Amino acid sequence: MIRALIQILWRDLRLSLRQGSDVAVLVTFFVITVSLFPFAVGPEPVILERIAAGVIWVTALLATMLSLDRLFQSDFDDGSLDLLIMSSPPLELIVLAKVTAHWLIAGLPLIIAAPFLAVALRLPADGYLFLIAVMTIGTPTLSLVGAVGAALTLGARRSGVLISLLVLPLFIPVLIFGVAAIDAGISGLAVRPHLLILGAMLIAALPLAPWATATALRQSLT
Amino acid sequence: MPSSLTGNDLVCIRGERTVFEGLSFSIGESDAIVLRGANGSGKSTLLRLMAGLLHPYSGVVTWNKLDISQDIHTHGANIHYVGHQDAIKPLLTVAENLSFAASLKASEFNLRNALEAFSLINLTDLPVRLLSAGQRRRLALSRLIASQAPLWLLDEPTVSLDGGAVTMLLSAIAAHRAGGGMVVVAAHGPLNLPYASEFDVGAFAPTGSVDFEGAS
């Protein structure tokens, strides 16, 4: 069973890497959107410093959105989902394997790109460590919660738009505490509570989101 | 214990429409059943009910007297479903597609046998996007051999297959049945399966219904 799950994870990674453009498009979107802000609000370091954490987080949410629709859609379209549902591991664990693959493809590159963008936005030096830490805890939650939306909108027309409507509101708590943690870090306040809450969200999403996603996937068959 | 799949008094409603009602069937070891019926009469739906992918509105499908809706994962190990869609990834090679599908089913599988049975051995390392429709179909069917499951559910398996490939399929089915396996095939064209019983799904259309020409 473990082997089957690793196979699923590995297959999704391989498919994305062979596609190549997937990860590139995502990171490019992230970089370009964040770079728009200095042009829009002007290059004053004070303003950029103030908005850096928020801009990076909001853009990370949007980039995650962008990558969600392909999480189950291609498997649904070509009939692979039938095989996955009938395979030996429980669907919940299959979802977890696919979400892990999604995070490695869509979450990890954002975490790597974020510090470089933070330089462009003049994030104070104290913030970098927290930025990376917070994104590492926060982005898996985004992938998990996003999977529920992706599964619910399966088979719907214009599902990309629908996912955004469903999932973006659910991302707000991650956004609030993600930005608050970085701000607290910069101004020397306690970061730990924010990180703990983000961690709690991840721990809650870890069993709940795959369960909800699996239910939605089963529903999509009828 | 000899395996068997039975359906009892099945009613299936899709959308607002009753597809069939009062349908019962029983499949035992080495049996082959060919599902017949017009477009939209519910052949594919019945296959998906047998696979546990759909649930009947009423009635029950049982595998060895156990309701399959109780545990779809256990049931999944008993069956191989080949639907209209080939469920293969164009970016992966033939071998990768096959070993992935097989690893979902069973811990050990025999890729070489499967590739040989549908003469895909020369295409092993080719990405599937370069294959023709018939070759993709053969790859989808070769999954049947890669990991053995007692019950094969085939939805229009001969679509886009050439004469030689149909012969490969028929001999694969014959070998499967010789080992006690069961096969259910939905088909329009003639299919030369020895001692197969024909099952007309259209006969269970709800009484007084209109003819759904072309609906599926």
Tens digit of each residue's pLDDT (9 = 90 or more) over B91-142: 999 988 988 888 887 667 778 888 888 888 888 889 999 999 889 999 999 9
The residue ranking higher by pLDDT, B6 or B211, is B6
> According to the model, what pLDDT value does residue A222 have?
67
Closest partner residue to B87 among A18, A83, A222, by Cβ?
A: A83
- Asked if A79 lies within 8 A of B84 by C-beta distance, the reply is yes
Closest partner residue to A222 among B54, B96, B106, by Cβ?
A: B54
- pLDDT for B8-43, tens place per residue? 888 888 878 888 888 888 888 888 888 888 888 888
Q: What confidence tier does A177 reach under pLDDT thresholds 50, 70, 90?
A: very high
pLDDT reading at A186 higher than 80 = yes
> According to the model, what pLDDT value does residue B214 have?
45
Give residue A187's identity as a one-letter amino acid code.
S
> According to the model, what pLDDT value does residue B87 have?
87
Q: Are B105 and A85 in contact (CB under 8 A)?
A: no
Q: What confidence tier does B210 reach under pLDDT thresholds 50, 70, 90?
A: low
* ipTM score: 0.84
- How far A29 CA sits from the closest chain B CA (Å)? 24
> According to the model, what pLDDT value does residue B215 have?
45
Q: What whole-number percentage of chain A has pLDDT above 90? A: 61
Closest partner residue to A87 among B14, B53, B76, by Cβ?
A: B76
pLDDT reading at B212 higher than 70 = no
> According to the model, what pLDDT value does residue A62 have?
93
Q: Say yes or no: B108 contacts chain A, CB-CB below 8 A.
A: no
- How far B70 CA sits from the closest chain A CA (Å)? 13
pLDDT reading at B167 higher than 70 = yes
pLDDT reading at B208 higher than 70 = no
pLDDT reading at B1 higher than 70 = no
- Asked if A78 lies within 8 A of B87 by C-beta distance, the reply is yes
Domain that holds residue A25: 2-220
Which structural domains are found in chain B, ordered by start?
Answer: 5-199 (3.40.50.300)
Give residue A92's identity as a one-letter amino acid code.
E
Integer Cα distance of B67 and B77 in angstroms: 15
Q: What is the mean pLDDT of residues B47-75?
A: 85
A vs B, Cβ pairs < 8 A, gives: 77
Q: What confidence tier does A102 reach under pLDDT thresholds 50, 70, 90?
A: very high
Q: What whole-number percentage of chain B has pLDDT above 70? A: 94
Start-to-end CA span in chain B (Å): 37
pLDDT reading at A193 higher than 50 = yes
What is the dihedral sign for C-alpha A25, A95, A162, A142? negative
Closest partner residue to B53 among A3, A82, A88, by Cβ?
A: A82
- Asked if A85 lies within 8 A of B96 by C-beta distance, the reply is no
All residues of chain B having their beta carbon less than 8 Å from the beta carbon of residue A12 are none
> According to the model, what pLDDT value does residue A59 have?
95
Instruction: Please name which of A158, A145, A161 lies closest in space to residue A216, comparing C-alpha atoms.
Output: A145
Integer Cα distance of A59 and A65 in angstroms: 10
pLDDT reading at A20 higher than 80 = no
- pLDDT for A22-64, tens place per residue? 889 999 999 999 999 999 998 888 999 889 999 999 999 999 9
Q: What is the mean pLDDT of residues A104-124?
A: 92
pLDDT reading at A179 higher than 60 = yes
β-bridge partners, B151 = B79, B182
Q: What is the mean pLDDT of residues A99-107?
A: 94
Query: How many domains, chain A?
Result: 1
> According to the model, what pLDDT value does residue A213 have?
95
Q: Say yes or no: A21 contacts chain B, CB-CB below 8 A.
A: no
DSSP classification of residue B42: S
Q: Are A68 and A150 in contact (CB under 8 A)?
A: yes
Q: What is the mean pLDDT of residues A134-144?
A: 95
Main-chain dihedrals φ then ψ at residue A175, nearest 5 degrees:
-60, -50
Residue A141: helix, strand or coil by DSSP?
Answer: helix
Integer Cα distance of A66 and A105 in angstroms: 12
Integer Cα distance of A140 and A30 in angstroms: 17
The residue ranking higher by pLDDT, A111 or A87, is A111
- Find, in chain B, the residue whose alpha carbon is nearest to that of A74: B89
Q: What confidence tier does B216 reach under pLDDT thresholds 50, 70, 90?
A: very low
